[in-house]
Chains A and B, each alone.
Chain A
Amino acid sequence: MRTGGRATLLLLWLLALAGLGWVVSQRLRVSTDLRSFMPAPTTPDQRLLMEQVGDGPGSRLLLLAIRGRPDTQLAALSQGLVAALKHDPRYSQVLNGSFDLGALDPQLLPYRYLLSPTLDTQPLDAAYLSAQLQQRLDDLSSPAASLLQGLLPRDPTLEVLKLAERWAPARAPELRDGVWFSPRHEALLLVQTVAAGFDPDAQQRAIDGIRQAFHALPGSAGATLELSGPGYFSVVVGAQTRHQAEWIGRISTVGFIALLLLAYRSVSSLLLGSLPIASAALAGIAALIVAFPAVHGITLAFGFTLLGVAQEYPIRVLSHRRAGEDAVQSVRALWPLLLTAIASACIAYLAFYASGVNGLQQLAVFTIVGLLVAGFSTRYLLPHLLPRRVRDVADMRWLQRTRDWVDQLPRPRWIPLLVALAIVAMLALAPGPFWQNNLAALTPLPQAMLLRDARLREALGAPDVRYLLVLQAATEQGVLALSEKLQPQVDALLARHAADALELPSRYLPSVAVQRARQQKLPDRATLQHALAQALQGLPFRPGLFQPFLDDVQAARTLPPLTPEHYAQTPLGQRLAAMLMQRDGHWFGLGTVSGVHDVAALQALGKGSGGKVRLLDLKAASESLVAAYRTRILQALGVASLLLVLTITFALRSLRRAWHVLAPMTLATFLVLAVERAMGIEISLFHLVALILAGGLGLHYALFFERDTGDPAEQRRTLHATLVCVLSALLVFGMLAWATIPVLRAIGLTVSLGVAFHFCLSILMAPHPHAAED
């Protein structure tokens, strides 16, 4: 192609990329909710689990500790923080232990007679009122007088205080200067975020808001604010992983560029060679934007990793060029093989699509579109741009020597058998369980952080993240009624110390039926007036003082019962909303449990309920979910492998040739698995993903080595291209293998081992050149 034509093509390509880049930057919405990488739940219980993993009351709780100043100043900071966060829409509840009459919205004050259980056992008659008023008189002469005096005319029986006590956390920490303190002189707070616990970005915003509010407080300069809780952990883990991945990425990018410059000694080749990859990435993202409402951050991170396979296409083209030959010609010669490689990789990634997991489906769309774009642009665009004159790598001295050495390597037929035996032996003798079912093990937290979380959780009596008591009924009111029915059994369990606390939804709102029953017991105005007059006899209260009380009781008699929707606007209503939810035509109530001592006793709560009441063990459930997830991926991989065999056999039109491609690839894949197991590594989903990537790379090596049977110069070019590919993959993934974050290490180690094994086995098991010449 003429120079002018090349310039035009380059310009058009760059313009297309810029346009695509602009669209992507305008339309891309990245989501960070880890749950889209979980399998789609199938049963209502699993759906509930998925909600709870990130969305449950326990997982949305942040535990705060302020320390480093004298107690009084810490208490002031604690109060200041509550005042600052209370009306922030990012938080549904902010607690620091301070006695808070505002817990009940002033407009809802008459509802106290429907919410408080006092009247269940005690009618509002003269005898009760008389006893209560006598107590209030004692209160008035005590130092507590100033607390009560304002409340007295409206609420002589102090129902508001009883409710405040009822709603305080079941096992509250010590109060000092009116706020919660740990034994270590830390002011403690509980903050419930509106955002889900496993949405690191939203959690980051919530945590930033807390920190900003804290630093804006006067006197916060010398004090330290510490956070804990699932949401905080997801932020820390995300930041750590990103940080390590970034610096490893920077180093390996520099190394990768240096390697390519060394291999091809041409800046223009390097720059042009990067165009297919850039097109692949942008096209992949564009496809995601079209196909999905939001693109997951992990899809992008993994997707770019998996696209590493596509870097092989331009490398193959660059290495296989002959001096003076048109690039278009050399590509044409390579194309059938490249097309086979592209098709096989796409089939492998289709397995992800079949897994049914949203995040993996995104990954499949991204990589398949990316691979196709990279492949076809390497075939139809790149060759027209490459400079005509190039060095033939086949003429390089060292390459000739290396190829000779490789050719002289013994290739005994028993090698596959030996490797297979070694694999079986290692798998059989490997220590520990085969599969890693605990996703958390891959993103571990520093021990100090876990200890602090346990300590704060203990001090605050905050609910466990692991257990939930699930109540199921046809209606919302049914759940509340079930919760009320269960309360006596729960109280008995707590008395026996089966758990430290168990909070049921009806603690915050009684069912409409109970509220109606309480309304029925409220006396009419005349009766109450009469009883009050009797009770007041001989007491020095000013006449007419209790008019607001009479009015409130009258109002309470005719109020429409409080429902969760009415209640939702208040802080407590939001607390309740987190404990009630509707799924698939059923209503679920969630009881939070703290300090579990006797799991069996809690499980026994559900006995005879016909599944209406059950203890959900989030850890066990998530582990079984991960196992189910893996089974689906493995099944999909099985189908993909079968398709792969058919594709390769069809492409090569020979079973024997297909064997030479597929046998080393299969053996190397299992060898990686066996070596990792022998090292005591438990295999996780990330290992599986990495194995597939390595398998894709190995397929290329095997395909190209297998093809090499005639021309020695072409054999050298193949070796050159494969060496560049192997070294660049080892560079990038070898670096990852040194990361301290297990997810990164899992991917890095698996791919590095895979690349090394695939390379060695595809050389050793390639058809012997001499044999082929026969």
Chain B
Amino acid sequence: MALAGTAPAASSSSATRLIAALGQPAPARTAFAEARFLHVLDRPLVVSGELAWLGGNRLQRQVEQPQPETATIADGEVTLQRAGKPARRFSLGHAPQLQVLLESFVALLSGDAGRLQQAFEIRHSGSAAAGWTLTLVPRDAKVARTVASIAIDGYGKQSRCMRMQDADGDLAVDLLGPLAAQMPAAPTREALQALCRSAP
């Protein structure tokens, strides 16, 4: 019993150390390129731009290609702005994917392992010094019905990739930081996974 109890604690303590090491002061910005594999489409949608954590629970996702669009998450509300159109607002409660994205992103950037652990079951593989993967599974059953898991791939103290797997099979892969520039013109799930796992 004692042995069984210590094993996950050891793994979670290594995860805690890793998450603490990833923390950055707000505001933190990073380039991103996202490929979405949706079951309603027969090829992935690719957008790129900048992700910014503005501190607190505020996140901004600025898309530059192919259509400029700014999405701001603040105070439980999402505001979408596109050039020449009135802003659209909706509640975060209606978009579980975004909720999960916000939770994981903010917790990671602030290095807050405790908060991350409250919302997710955390699995950690790889080594802290080289390539690693943190897999987050939502604890909330209602959220888990839409979002199956989030995997974050990184190397050293750098997050390089975020893969959000929806329960219905849809997948969104975000390449972060320098890796964003390497988004292929016609990405596939396999190619992106390989890219995420590769050493910088």
Contact = CB atoms under 8 A, between A and B. Distances in A.
Interface in B154-175: 170
Contacts of B91: 98-99, 175, 177-179
Interface residues of B, number: 35
Contact of A72 (B47, B61, B67, B76): B76
Contacts of B190: none
A540 B43 contact: yes
B77 A146 contact: no
B98 A178 contact: no
A683 interface: no
Interface stretch (A147-155, A262-270, A307-315, A334-342): A147-155
Contact of B38 (A99, A143, A144, A149): A149
A176 interface: yes
B78 interface: yes
Interface in B85-130: 88-98
A143 B40 contact: no
A144 B88 contact: yes
A107 interface: no
A543 interface: yes
Nearest to A543: B42
A137 interface: yes
Interface string A133-147: 000011011111111
Given A147-B95, A153-B40, A177-B93, A142 B71 contact: yes
Nearest to B36: A141
B90 A138 contact: no
- Listed residue (A99, A141, A144) with the most chain B CB atoms within 10 angstroms of its CB: A141
Contact of B47 (A141, A146, A152, A540): A141
Interface string A594-623: 000000000000000000000000000000
Contact of A75 (B42, B45, B76): B76
Nearest to B99: A146
Contacts of B97: 143, 145-146
B40 A149 contact: yes
Contacts of B34: 141
A144 B69 CA distance: 12
B69 A142 contact: yes
A144 B63 CA distance: 14
Q: Could you say which of B34, B38, B98 has the most chain A C-beta atoms within 10 Å of its C-beta?
A: B38
A541 B42 contact: yes
Contact of B41 (A71, A177, A178, A540): A540
Nearest to A139: B80
A462 B97 CA distance: 34
A168 to B, nearest CB: 13
Interface residues of A, number: 29
A542 interface: yes
Nearest to A76: B93
B77 A542 contact: no
A153 to B, nearest CB: 7
Given A75-B76, A176-B75, A541-B42, A145 B36 contact: yes
B90 A545 contact: no
B34 to A, nearest CB: 8
Contact of B63 (A72, A137, A140, A141): A141
B36 A140 contact: yes
Contacts of B90: 99, 144, 147, 178
B14 interface: no
Nearest to B96: A146
Contact of A143 (B80, B82, B93): B80
A138 B43 contact: no
A270 to B, nearest CB: 69
Contacts of A147: 90, 94-95
Interface in A95-150: 98-99, 137-138, 140-147, 149
B76 A178 contact: yes
Given A142-B69, A143-B80, A545 B47 contact: no
A138 B73 CA distance: 18
Contacts of A177: 75-77, 91-93
Interface string A173-187: 001111100000000
B39 interface: yes
B143 to A, nearest CB: 12
A149 B38 CA distance: 9
Interface string B46-70: 0100000000000001010001010
Contacts of A178: 76-77, 90-94
Given A141-B63, A540-B42, A541-B40, A146 B95 contact: yes
B70 to A, nearest CB: 10
A79 B94 CA distance: 12
A178 B34 CA distance: 27
Interface in A51-81: 71-72, 75, 79
A540 B46 CA distance: 12
A143 B41 CA distance: 16
B146 interface: yes
A543 B71 CA distance: 30
Interface string A231-243: 0000000000000
Contacts of B76: 71-72, 75, 176-178
Nearest to B35: A141
Contact of A140 (B43, B45, B73): B45
B8 to A, nearest CB: 31
A545 B38 CA distance: 12
B121 to A, nearest CB: 22
A669 B36 CA distance: 88
A545 B43 CA distance: 14
A181 to B, nearest CB: 10
A267 to B, nearest CB: 71
B71 A146 contact: no
B106 to A, nearest CB: 15
B41 A176 contact: no
B109 to A, nearest CB: 18
Contact of B45 (A144, A152, A176, A540): A540
A664 B36 CA distance: 97
Contacts of B45: 137, 140-141, 540
Contacts of A140: 36, 38, 40-41, 45
B39 A542 contact: yes
B71 A143 contact: yes
A611 to B, nearest CB: 41
A375 to B, nearest CB: 71
A140 B97 CA distance: 13
B94 A99 contact: yes
B96 A143 contact: no
B142 to A, nearest CB: 13
A537 to B, nearest CB: 13
B61 to A, nearest CB: 7
A142 B62 CA distance: 10
A561 B86 CA distance: 34
Interface string A689-706: 000000000000000000
A138 B69 contact: yes
Contacts of A142: 63, 69, 71, 80
A152 B92 contact: no
A144 B43 contact: no
Contacts of B38: 140, 145, 149
B180 to A, nearest CB: 15
B159 to A, nearest CB: 20
7 contacts: A138-B69, A142-B69, A142-B80, A144-B88, A144-B90, A540-B43, A542-B42
Closest 9 CB pairs of A and B: A178-B91, A177-B76, A540-B41, A540-B43, A141-B45, A143-B71, A141-B47, A146-B97, A178-B93
Interface of B: 34, 36, 38-43, 45, 47, 61, 63, 67, 69, 71, 73, 75-78, 80, 82, 88-98, 146, 170
Given A143-B97, A176-B75, 17 more contacts: A71-B76, A75-B93, A79-B93, A99-B90, A99-B94, A138-B82, A141-B34, A141-B63, A143-B95, A145-B97, A146-B94, A146-B96, A175-B91, A177-B77, A178-B76, A178-B92, A541-B40
